[in-house]
C-alpha cells in the first residue's frame, strides 16, 4: 500500500512538473511586437508624414506627426506659414488606427505603410518628407 501511494505521488509530481514547465514558457517578442500588443503603437507610423495639395492660388502642405509616446500633432504649411490643425493621442488595434481628440475617440481607420508611404482606407495618402519640424 505504501509503495502504491509513493508511486501515485511520484506520477503526480512528474505530471505537474511537466505541465508547469510547458505553461511557464514565454513567447519571445520583438520590441515592435511588444509596442503593438501592449502600448498599441506601430513603429512604422512613428514620424512625420506629408500630404501636398495644390490649387490655382497657393500650395498647401499638410503634415501629420505620430510620436512614439502615442501623441500626435497635425499642422499645415500654406504660403510659408505653419499652423497647427490638431493635437491628441493615437493607438493601433487590429491594423486600424484610432485618433483621440480629448474624450472623443473616432472609429478605427485601416491603413498600410509601405515604401515610405502611408495610405488610409479613405484614400488619403502621405509620404515621409526629407525633413519636417513641428513646434509643440
Q: Does residue 133 lie in a domain region?
A: no
Q: Does residue 79 lie in a domain region?
A: yes
**Cβ neighbour number for residue 97 with a 10 Å cutoff:** 21
Task: Give yes or no: residues 10 and 65 share one domain.
Answer: no
Whole-angstrom CA distances from 21 to 17, 18, 27, 29, 86 are: 6, 5, 13, 19, 50
The grid cell for 76 is 499645415
User: Binning pLDDT at 50, 70 and 90, where does residue 43 land?
Assistant: confident
User: How far apart, in whole angstroms, are the C-alpha atoms of residue 102 and residue 116?
Assistant: 29
Q: What confidence score (pLDDT) does residue 6 get?
A: 74
User: How far apart, in whole angstroms, are the C-alpha atoms of residue 8 and residue 3?
Assistant: 9
Domain range holding 6? 2-28
Q: What confidence score (pLDDT) does residue 101 get?
A: 79
Amino acid at each position: 500500500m505504501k509503495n502504491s501511494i509513493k508511486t501515485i505521488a511520484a506520477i503526480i509530481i512528474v505530471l505537474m512538473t511537466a505541465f508547469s514547465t510547458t505553461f511557464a514558457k514565454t513567447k519571445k517578442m520583438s520590441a515592435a511586437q511588444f509596442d503593438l500588443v501592449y502600448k498599441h503603437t506601430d513603429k512604422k507610423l512613428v514620424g512625420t508624414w506629408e500630404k501636398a495639395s495644390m490649387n490655382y492660388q497657393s500650395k498647401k502642405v499638410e503634415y501629420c506627426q505620430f510620436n512614439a509616446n502615442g501623441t500626435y500633432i497635425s499642422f499645415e504649411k500654406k504660403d510659408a506659414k505653419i499652423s497647427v490643425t490638431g493635437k491628441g493621442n493615437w493607438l493601433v488595434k487590429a491594423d486600424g488606427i484610432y485618433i483621440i481628440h480629448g474624450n472623443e475617440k473616432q472609429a478605427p481607420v485601416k491603413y498600410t505603410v509601405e515604401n515610405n508611404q502611408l495610405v488610409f482606407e479613405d484614400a488619403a495618402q502621405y509620404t515621409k518628407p526629407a525633413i519636417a519640424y513641428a513646434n509643440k
